[in-house]
Structure 1
């Protein structure tokens, strides 16, 4: 079915690649059948996707826009290859697509194409030329980054675009970042058009966000506080929001109360900037200096931690903050971590309050977890076993559960399975501790030594590998343990 052609690209006979012994057609979302042989000579995009995949939904909208714009050329077809779990999900998702699909019932063909093209993640778009030769297996990246400009998706065209990108990076300016086509402005929450030229010479934060994303919602008050303080001081600073994936109602509801500027919702520059800055998380706050060059790829964590003191986001300022953080680490105690105002306790069973002072001098594990998280539930019995063995030998040891559960009932039920202590559900200290220890996922286990200093943020891995023998989690102990084994 596949041959290697000059240059190393694989070539496929589309007439045998897409049909099955009892099927010589593809389908449209209205049920119409389209013969495979009608695709002869066309470029083919094999689109591996599924309704349960959030990023797929977002990319499908982008791909549909590109497809509809290129369709009049008559030389391109997209074929949806579903990874959905049932036909209802397939049909609902396919109903939003203007292209063709392998029938859901032909699971052998869908699975075979997955294996043939070694699909490791979705969305995934592989593009074949009119002869069946693979032009690119990064079609999703190309479409996301270049849109219709990527056409005809040949290696030569992609190289040309990448060369243009490289030149643009060398000559980066606010104009090259924010202006698109005839649109040379950003917008205010009042609907006013503000020329990008008016931002030249300022320090500008490009704020990538999703209105309903919890991390973005949590970050917004701090960013708003910093923005207003800088404006009150007369600093030459502005924020331009880069809205991602929002529906119009959600965006308008959030943006109407904000004092900064934004790219228009669903502007093509939004996706281009996601790729340009290699965005991997939200919120992200990219800092562009007065000269139009990138000063920092993401200062969101720094703003959350240091607030207005992070300004003006220069290397010198970051060095200063690093020194402050170093001194803070050196003076860290358990009480500095766990006491905040009147919140000077953890809870035991039945909600009994246990003073943080009772834990001073102990080795303490901070356990970030939640019942809805399958890896957390799988790790819990492992941690309980280690906990009980360690406690039997050393009573100066404790675990504190920091919950990411969605409600009090879920917290109560999950905590009931645990033999240790916890922060109360919804306790504000959990947020600050998550930020301090840069908790990106759960379960996470942080080990704090008897002096209150951090021993390791990889205690989960140590427990998984060594069990109770990982205690007391010091580098010296672990080195000795590993040498003896």
Structure 2
């Protein structure tokens, strides 16, 4: 860990946990100034959702970020949702790139899923049948963009290999941003829930 630490002391640990109502781990309690006042109950979720953009981890910043997400979600601009930084494309299973600008005017479905989740895999098979039929009926007016919640690049590659639609690249931060914007909190978070903690 690149940061400082309080020397191990059970009494100090209990006092801090009681003072800041720490009841789960991990917990990150941002403090403001020298008086030890906390500015947010637990910033772990903020950092998971927004990364460096969450700084300075205040309630005001949290509201700003949520407002920004709502504006993008309700604005109806596909480029605002799918373009991130210098990346202005989505990819197919074979790596071929499609410019996001080519999706403007189409009906777009955002598919959130993961290979480790059996219901997600089962639904993708069903959806592929519907998708292929709709592509014939709707011609070029419909598409799906996969937003992965896979655990690593290998799982993502395996997942997308059987998909006939487009996807956001796995390493792209836009995947998590999209989850925030459309209020996706995870599929079945497997066994990754935070552990309850009793000091």
- TM over 0.5, yes or no? yes
User: In the alignment, what sits opposite 1:143?
Assistant: 47
1:133 aligns with 2:27: no
Q: 1:271 to 1:110 in 2, by over 3 A?
A: farther
Q: Secondary structure at the match of 2:110?
A: strand
Larger Rg: 1
User: In the alignment, what sits opposite 2:196?
Assistant: none
What does the per-residue CA deviation read over 1:205-264, in whole Å, with 9 as the maximum and x for residues that have no partner?
111111111221222211222212212333522111111142111111221232111111
Q: 1:230 to 1:127 in 2, by over 3 A?
A: same
User: In the alignment, what sits opposite 1:216?
Assistant: 120
Tell me which of 265, 268, 271 is aligned to 2:176: 271
Mapping 1:29-68, distance limit 5 Å: none
Q: 1:134 to 1:209 in 2, by over 3 A?
A: same
Q: 1:230 to 1:178 in 2, by over 3 A?
A: same
Q: 1:163 to 1:248 in 2, by over 3 A?
A: closer
Q: 2:173, 2:75 → 1: CA distance?
A: 20
User: In the alignment, what sits opposite 1:438?
Assistant: none
Q: 2:76, 2:44 → 1: CA distance?
A: 25
1:117 aligns with 2:20: yes
Q: 1:155 to 1:219 in 2, by over 3 A?
A: closer
Q: 2:4, 2:113 → 1: CA distance?
A: 33
Q: 2:104, 2:59 → 1: CA distance?
A: 36
Q: 1:245, 1:140 → 2: CA distance?
A: 20
> Over aligned residue pairs, what C-alpha RMSD do you find?
2.6
Q: 2:22, 2:127 → 1: CA distance?
A: 39
Q: 2:80, 2:112 → 1: CA distance?
A: 17
Going by fraction, where is strand more abundant, 1 or 2? 1
Q: 1:239, 1:216 → 2: CA distance?
A: 15
Q: 2:33, 2:123 → 1: CA distance?
A: 48
Q: Is the 8 A contact 1:248 1:265 kept in 2?
A: yes
Q: 1:155, 1:110 → 2: CA distance?
A: 25
Q: 2:12, 2:125 → 1: CA distance?
A: 50
Tell me which of 191, 207, 220 is aligned to 2:111: 207
For structure 2, which runs of at least 5 residues remain unmatched after alignment?
Answer: 189-199
Q: 1:158 to 1:281 in 2, by over 3 A?
A: closer
Q: Is the 8 A contact 2:27 2:42 kept in 1?
A: yes
Q: 1:273 to 1:125 in 2, by over 3 A?
A: farther
Shift of 1:112: 4.2
Q: Which has the higher contact order (CA 8 A, sep 6+)?
A: 2
Q: 1:109, 1:266 → 2: CA distance?
A: 40
Q: 1:213 to 1:166 in 2, by over 3 A?
A: closer
User: In the alignment, what sits opposite 1:358?
Assistant: none
Q: Secondary structure at the match of 1:119?
A: coil
Taking structure 1 as the reference length, the TM-score comes to 0.35
Shift of 1:118: 2.2
Q: 1:245 to 1:257 in 2, by over 3 A?
A: closer
Shift of 1:160: 3.8
